[in-house]
Structure 1
Amino acid sequence: MAKSQNTRQVILRSFIADTIALISFFTVTGIINERFIARMTWDQVFDARILGAILMVPSGRPYGLWRDWFMRHAVETRQSQIVWDTLSLVSFQVPIYAAILAISGAGADEILRGSLGVIVIMLALGRPYGAYLGLVRRSFGLPFEARKTMSLNVK
């Protein structure tokens, strides 16, 4: 029974940590991209950030698991970690981001500029976000890179 309780606590802390990291990090970068690169109005930016935050709640933990899976392919070199962190971020977040822009009222040209802009941002921020996620996880008493305790196969 104690192990089951501990497992539930780890799952809850993992969900909270991954969600807080995603929302806090990408709200700021989203505002910068939407206003200054995609040239969206402040009303559209506000709508996109509200929708983004709502969508980040259910996608924060799945992204954390997605990233953990990608990072299992990385070796201990800095270059490998940068590549795998960046690939995981771009492949998971860009399709979601394009949908957020579309739902927020952005036109096709704004969606294209915004998506290209966020790809550039994510190429630059893939590893910094991975490190930030690790810091948030550690602040919740979780390991930086989840192997067993944060996987879907928690026993």
Structure 2
Amino acid sequence: MVSYVADTLALVLFFTTTGIVNERIIAGMTWEQVLHARLIGGVLMVPVGRPYGLWRDWLMSHAKQTRLSQLIWDSLALVSFQVPIYTAIIAFSGAAGDSLIRGVLGATVMMMVLGRPYGAFLNWVRHLFGLPPGGEKPMSLNT
């Protein structure tokens, strides 16, 4: 349960902020659409926070100890898990046509860039909860 709370809290804090930047500045959504997207996103982040943490841990177990390897695997984890969910969020929030395309492309680029920073943030939040960082041992549902 502690892992669930830590992973979910990290996801909500980090991606509420970055989502607002992408939706308003890159996708050009209205503030009303951004609010709608953040409300949907917040609700969806609760059930996917821990599954994403497990997904990331599993992918990161394949990373070597080099910065480049960790950067690549962290980015791959984030893009492959979160972009499809994010696409649905902004589509249901009113993004369509060019706005939807810009939003998805912007989110993909942001998540590629933010993969490693988010991974470090997630590990820091886990540390605050007394948990080990992810990707250093086999995936476990009991942690």
Which stretches of structure 1, 4 residues or more, deviate above 3 A after TM superposition? none
Q: Which residue of 2 aligns with 1:65?
A: 54
TM-score, normalisation: structure 1: 0.88
Alpha-carbon distance in structure 2 between the residues aligned to 1:145 and 1:21: 13
Q: How many Å separate the matches in 2 of 1:83 and 1:108?
A: 30
Distance in 2 between residues matched to 1:130 and 1:29, nearest whole Å: 14
2:20–2:34 Cα contact (<8 Å) kept: yes
Contact 2:11–2:49 (CA<8 Å) still a contact in 1? Answer: yes
Root mean square deviation of aligned Cα = 1.3
The total of aligned residue pairs comes to: 142
Look up the SS of the partner of 1:47 in the other structure.
helix
Larger Cα Rg: Structure 1 or Structure 2? 1
Q: Deviations over 1:24-48 (max 9, x none)?
A: 0000000000000000000000000
Say which of 88, 91, 107 aligns to 1:102: 91
**Correspondence for 1:116:** 105
Please list every run of 5 or more consecutive structure 2 residues that lacks an aligned counterpart in the other structure.
Answer: none
Aligned to 1:8: none
Aligned to 2:69: 80
- The one of 30, 46, 56 equivalent to 2:45 is 56
Structure 2 matches for 1:1-155, cutoff 5 A? 12-145=1-134, 147=137, 151-152=140-141, 154=142
TM-score normalised according to structure 2 size: 0.95
Identity of aligned residues (%): 62
| Structure 1 position 108, deviation (Å) | 2.5
